[in-house]
Structure 1
Amino acid sequence: MQHTKITIYSTPSCPHCKRAKRYFKELGLQFKDYDVSKDKRAAEKMIKKTGQMGVPVIEIGNKTIVGFDQNKIKRLLGI
Structure 2
Amino acid sequence: MSKNKLPILYIKSGCPWCREALSFFNSQGVDLDVRDVNVNAKDMDAMVALSGQTKTPTFEYEDFMVADFDVDEFLAELNEFPEIRQKLGISDDEN
| TM-score (ref. length: structure 2) | 0.71
Asked if 2 retains the 8 angstrom alpha-carbon contact of 1:11 and 1:55, the reply is: yes
Runs of 4+ in 1 over 3 A off after TM superposition: 73-76
Alignment of 1:41-56 (within 5 A): 41-56=42-57
Aligned in 2, Cα 1:64/1:30: closer, same or farther, shift over 3 Å? Answer: same
Query: How many residues matched?
Result: 77
Query: In 2, distance between residues paired with 1:26 and 1:20?
Result: 10
Query: In 2, distance between residues paired with 1:40 and 1:4?
Result: 21
| TM-score (ref. length: structure 1) | 0.83
Computing the radius of gyration from Cα coordinates, the structure with the larger value is 2
RMSD: 1.8
Q: Report the structure, 1 or 2, having the larger strand content.
A: 1
Higher mean C-alpha displacement, 16-25 vs 66-75: 66-75
1:71 match: 76
Describe the superposition over 1:48-79 as per-residue Cα deviations: whole angstroms up to 9, x where unpaired. Answer: 11110111110122211012323323544134
SS at match of 2:23: helix
Unaligned runs of 5+ in 1: none
Unaligned runs of 5+ in 2: none
Describe the superposition over 1:13-68 as per-residue Cα deviations: whole angstroms up to 9, x where unpaired. Answer: 11111111111100111000000001100000000111101111101222110123
Identity %: 18
